[in-house]
Structure 1
Amino acid sequence: MVTRRRFLGRLGLVGGLSATLGAMHALGLAGEAAAQDLTGLPVTMGRGKHVVVLGAGIAGLAAALELERIGFLVTLLEARGRVGGRAWTVRDGEKIEMIGEETQTARFSDGIYFNAGPARIPSFHQGLLGYARKYGVPIEVEVNSSRSAYIMADDGSKLRMRTAINDTRGHIAELLSKAIGKGSLDTELTAADREKLLPFLKAYGDLDETQTFTGTERSGFGNAPGAGVTFASPSKGMPLSRLLGNQRLPMTVFEDNLYMQATMFEPVGGMDRIHKAMDAALRRPALLGAEVTRIRNRAEGVEVAYRDGASGVVETVRADYLLCTIPFPVLAKIDTNFSPALKRIVAGVVYDHSNKVAFESPRFWEREQIYGGISFVGGPTNLVWYPSAGLHGERGMLLACYASGQTAAEFAKRPITEQIAFSRGVVDRLHPGHGGDLMNGVAVNWSKVPYSLGPWPDWRAGGANGRQEARIDTAEFRALQREEGRVYFASAALSQTPGWQEGGIQSAHMQVMALAKRVTAEALTAPAARRAA
């Protein structure tokens, strides 16, 4: 029996990459963001060719795995002492080193960990989930939204998320119903549409028979149901003026964002579990502590010099091609022979700011019926994020700050001790009396993290601070999609989702495909060149 994989492999050997790609599209295999994207390429395609991959974050790991699978020899260099890049899971005893700051040492209980970088995976990010599945990394649900969590106004008043969401819906539904009843929308609605819309608004806002919103059990009980004939009653509706007076009210729709919709996932035991499993699957795992100091891009191949972190010895590796996933602010500081135009582009990529502050704590929030999810508090810390893992355990990791953009840039100027103290104070304001429960606080300012120097690019240089996904299309962004000589670039920074790991996988797969196409084309022209000689 000829399987699809075998058929595509034979087709690639006979007809080259273009025939293989055409067949993959026809079979519905190309264009999927899954770990199996490139399985149709012949496994001997890269035989005899060597690629050096710089950076063992998600893009570098995905590229190395796919290049190895189609026959390339791969050397993967990573400056850090770990794989994962931004996917950094901090556990007990580990160091947090940042430029210009004293080293922090995490002091956490057994089983407690802090995802300093990515901490959730949308269900449609099938590339990352595909790698987790392929390499046996267990996944659990990440509770991204809890209706028991809060939105807190600037004056410290707070509303349960369920109250803010459902009472606002009730008031909007009532206002629309009244407008329809007065004929205010007659020019926008047909008589048939009006007749259908009014029952929908009644259900949408839980209005009474007079199309009035007075309150709803969706927002909580006025009187809770009990034993015997202890009946439930709905809570009284919150006045619209109070709802609108809470500056965090727009955050009640955050989970409607496609990237935040349930179901969300996380790897059991920390985000870096996926990256460690990917590295372990490589025939030649990443060489850690290898800080790149020089890159040479030549007509006949590439040359990379790196310093061994343990010995200080400088080594050199030569290869046919280079795939670089190093963050651009870091790459700009490396000695390269890139063209002046490319050097200017690399040096000009502006990275955003992002901070996280985390504490170990007894799970006091669970006594308030909060099991996972996020409370939005505004200000320099932005939110309080409750752990999904280890429910009903004794202790958990509470994220007391996760903010990006200019607000994060200003907050990062404060001493680390002040960042931790401020974040503790916000939690105490949100959960009175519990600030003292927080212990072993640590802070990460991504703009100060070595070998990162920021979380993701702000391609619009100030116009998109804090935005992690957008329609990115600048001349510089397009230029970095293209190879220069034998050097290719891949990273989440070069995707439409620079703040998500899926973007790194998509970028890596695209450049692996570009390399495969190039090698195939060169193989097809090589015999003719030899005959001419």
Structure 2
Amino acid sequence: MTRPFQEVAGADGAIGGPKNITVIGAGISGLVAAYELERLGHHVQIIEGSPEIGGRIHTHRFSGDRRIPGDDRVSADGPGGPFAELGAMRIPAGHRLTMHYIAELGLQKHVSEFRTLFSDEAAYLPGSTGYLRVRDAHETLVDEFAAGLPSRDYQENTLLFGAWLDASLRAVAPREFYSALGTEMGVELLNRVDHIDLTPYRCGSTKNRIDLHALFADHPQVRTFCPPHLERFLDDVLDETSSTIVRLRGGMDVLPRRLAARVRGPISTGLEVVGIDVRDDAVILGIRQGAGTLTRICDYVVCTIPFPVLRGMHLSGFDRDKLDIIRQTKYWAGTKIAFHCREAFWEKDGISGGASFTGGHVRQTYYPPVDGDPALGAVLLASYTIGPDAEELARLGEAERNAVVARELAVMHPQLREPGMVLGVVARAWGTHRWSRGAATVRWGQAAAVREAERREAARPQKGLFFAGEHCSSKPAWIEGAIESAIDAAHEIEWYEPRASRVFAASRPSRSEESA
């Protein structure tokens, strides 16, 4: 979409006068950066290569969507068609920046519970003899977990903790990553937990599970027995299996659309940046528009392009360290496959929501609530994979991939074999997607000091070129990280002076650090 440019007079005024700023990318980080820079009194325009805004927030609607007349937003009120979240689909309630913007944009009434892995006792997970219901899985999980320990001389609660932690690790991590863990999350952690009364953390209708998120929150010292290079991985596992995760009813895309409606400057789609030249007094962009290429001279630029895409461009004026981090930052693939089903058949199987860990090629299967008219069907997020598992699915042709997922999932859900049950299939392989070339930055397996060094280098400006995106943040792979980095970039530009020393810039705390 494109809107006429409007000059903005910020309430606080810009330090040193208003700046003219071009933001590359209309994902969450680009939209937040533009929004905050305009509030500071600067003039901002956004250019986006793809035909859509939202970036890796991508809500696919099968039918029956309800749009607000005269607006580009989708209403989350009232009945509508089923939709699938092919990108970001959840928000930990403890992500304060994301929750702040939800409130500021008037979206509080759209916040609903997001039910995740193992939250429904009727959901499934694989055991050595076939699929198990979550409510019945504890004995098998404990026996299989204990069989791999050098000693079973632990309390019953400790073994239950270990079994459910292992099941969670197995469900979240790609198979290759989980296999490489070995016993790294094992014996020392069990020895420490064995001295804690775990009775208050038993949960479920028959108290046969352990609330891992609550346990680690109440006993932070337990984390010290997790290998330092696996801290980020453990954080993500606990977040993904927490009971305090939310979603936006009616579709996550309401967040970028509401943000875009608040940005006053132009948002132009279909303008693909193909080159960036950093000079002392300007940043020059090469932009492909249709069959032609044009050059735009910019005073300041905020680049939110994912590094796997950026490293395929012509880049000049970047220092060697910056080029190195752009080339080396690791993104993991992510593939989501959603089925539009005639009905929410899983409800007849006793499953009211949450997710199953399916294993195999499918990995995770989610049962989203039916927000719209049930007569229009329901969506099953049939397969959610990351890393090498996602790459493996993405390499298959569309028909073969859909067939593999349907065949594997039908073992657990034979209703999928019924004629007319599956009305449509949609997928997004982020690892091969033109505008991202990856689902998210993953810094699992890195010590905290290494992660922070990479974050700082990823976010470090190049003269008038600034960087934002989840890859520049302390919370990669989450909306929170994208927002954090955008606020930091806006703060950096606000204080930037063309000939200021790097010492001055390095000594000044970021806004996110100041407000922590």
Alignment of 1:62 with 2:3, yes or no, is: no
1:149 aligns with 2:123: yes
Pair 1:320 & 2:311 matched? no
Matches of 1:143 and 1:167, distance apart in 2: 24
TM-score, structure 2 as length reference:
0.70
**2:340 paired residue among 338, 360, 366:** 360
* Root-mean-square deviation over aligned CA pairs: 3.8
Distance 1:293 1:217, change over 3 A: closer
Identity of counterpart residues, as a percentage?
29
Q: Does 1:486 align with 2:464?
A: yes
Deviation string, structure 1 residues 279-334 (Cα, Å, up to 9, x no partner): 1110114211111122221111222232234xx44444333211111011111122
Aligned-partner SS, 1:347: helix
CA drift at 1:122:
0.9
1:340 shift after superposition: 5.4
Cα separation, 2, equivalents of 1:65 and 1:439: 40
In the alignment, structure 1 residue 505 sits paired with structure 2 residue 483: yes
Q: Distance in 1 between matches of 2:407 and 2:16?
A: 56
Residue 167 of structure 2 is matched in structure 1 by none
What do the CA deviations read for 1:124-145 (whole angstroms, capped 9, x no partner)? Answer: 1222222222222322222222
1: CA distance, partners of 2:285 / 2:12: 28
Separation (CA, whole Å) in 2 of partners of 1:357 and 1:178: 37
Indicate the SS of the match to 1:292.
strand
Cα shift readout 1:234-266 (whole Å, capped 9, x = no counterpart): xxxxxxxxxxxxxxxxxxx99971343122221
SS at match of 1:326: coil
2:310 is matched by which residue type in structure 1? L
Shift of residue 67, structure 1, vs aligned partner: 0.5
CA shift in 2, pair 1:116/1:447, >3 Å: same
CA distance in 2, matches of 1:456, 1:371: 29
Q: 1:79 maps to what in 2?
A: 49
User: Could you tell me which residue of structure 1 aligns to residue 439 of structure 2?
Assistant: 455
> How many angstroms apart in 2 are the aligned matches of 1:352 and 1:486?
29
Q: Which residue of 2 aligns with 1:236?
A: none
Q: Equivalents in 1 of 2:411, 2:339: separation in Å?
A: 16
AA matched with 2:132:
L
CA contact (8 A) 2:202 2:208 kept: no
SS of aligned partner of 2:155: helix
Please state how far the C-alpha of 1:399 moved relative to its aligned partner: 0.8
Structure 2: distance between partners of 1:511 and 1:484: 12
8 A Cα contact 1:88 1:117, kept in partner = yes
Cα distance in 1 for partners of 2:274, 2:247 equals 35
Structure 2: distance between partners of 1:380 and 1:472: 32
Within a 5 Å distance, the mapping from 1:50-199 to structure 2 comes to 50-92=20-62, 111-137=81-107, 138-144=110-116, 145-153=119-127, 155=129, 157-165=130-138, 176=155
Separation (CA, whole Å) in 2 of partners of 1:514 and 1:93: 43
CA distance in 1, matches of 2:157, 2:127: 29
Equivalent in 487, 507, 516 of residue 494 of structure 2: 516
User: 1: distance between equivalents of 2:352 and 2:37?
Assistant: 42
* C-alpha separation in 2, matches of 1:445 and 1:470: 29
Aligned to 1:278: 259
Q: Tell me how far 1:470 sits from its aligned partner.
A: 7.4
Deviation of the 1:349 alpha carbon: 2.7
CA–CA distance in 1 between the matches of 2:27 and 2:60? 16
Call closer, same or farther: CA 1:521–1:369 in 2, change over 3 Å: farther
- Which 10-residue stretch deviates more, 332-341 or 111-120? 332-341
Q: 1:393 to 1:321 in 2, by over 3 A?
A: same
Moved more, 500-509 or 255-264: 255-264
Change (3 A) 1:471 1:344: closer
TM-aligned CA deviation for residue 403 of structure 1? 0.9
How far 1:500 moved relative to its partner?
0.7
Q: Which residue pairs with 1:380 in the alignment? A: 361
Residue equivalent to 1:423? 405
Q: Is the 8 A contact 2:362 2:409 kept in 1?
A: no
The answer (yes or no) to whether the contact 2:458–2:471 under 8 Å persists in 1 is no
- Return the alpha-carbon distance in structure 2 between the equivalents of residues 514 and 70 of structure 1: 12
Deviations 1:441-470 (A, max 9, x none): 12221111111111123457xx68xxxx97
2:135 is aligned with what amino acid? R
**Pairs within 5 Å for 1:309-348:** 309=290, 312-339=291-318, 341=320, 342-348=322-328
Q: Which has the higher contact order (CA 8 A, sep 6+)?
A: 2
Cα pair 1:255 1:261 within 8 Å, conserved: no
Question: In structure 2, do the counterparts of structure 1 residues 292 and 406 end up closer, same or farther at CA, with 3 Å as the change threshold?
Answer: same
1:472, distance to aligned residue in structure 2 (A): 5.1
Is the 1:470–1:497 contact (alpha carbons within 8 Å) kept by the matching residues of 2? no
Correspondent of 1:412 among 378, 394, 399: 394
Letter in 2 for 1:337: S
| 1:438 pairs with 2:410 | no
Distance 2:261 2:139 in 1: 48
Q: Secondary structure at the match of 2:441?
A: coil
- Asked if structure 2 preserves the Cα contact closer than 8 Å seen for 1:167 and 1:219, the reply is no
- Structure 2: state its 5+ residue gaps: 1-9, 65-78, 147-151, 159-190, 210-233, 501-516
Q: CA distance change for structure 1 residues 340 and 364 in 2, over 3 Å: closer, same or farther? A: same
| Secondary structure, aligned partner of 1:330 | helix
Partner of 2:213: none
Distance (whole Å) between structure 1 residues aligned to residue 449 and residue 492 of structure 2: 22
Kept in 1, the 8 Å contact 2:125–2:356? The answer is yes
- Distance in 2 between residues matched to 1:471 and 1:88, nearest whole Å: 33
Larger radius of gyration: 1
2:277–2:284 CA contact under 8 A, matched in 1: yes
- Alpha-carbon distance between aligned partners in 1 of 2:287 and 2:465, rounded to the nearest angstrom: 17
> Residue 431 of structure 2 aligns to a residue in which SS?
helix
Distance 1:154 1:71 in 2: 61
Matches within 5 A, 1:157-306: 157-165=130-138, 176=155, 217-218=206-207, 257-306=238-287
CA-to-aligned-CA distance 1:417-447 (integer Å, 9 cap, x gap): 1111111112211122334422311222111
- Distance of aligned partners of 1:165 and 1:121 in 2 relative to their CA distance in 1, 3 Å threshold: farther
Q: 1:43 offset after TM fit, Å?
A: 3.3
- Secondary structure of 2:331's counterpart equals coil
Alignment CA distance shift 1:44-1:378 (3 Å): same
Q: Paired residues, what number?
A: 405
CA distance in 2, matches of 1:154, 1:407: 21
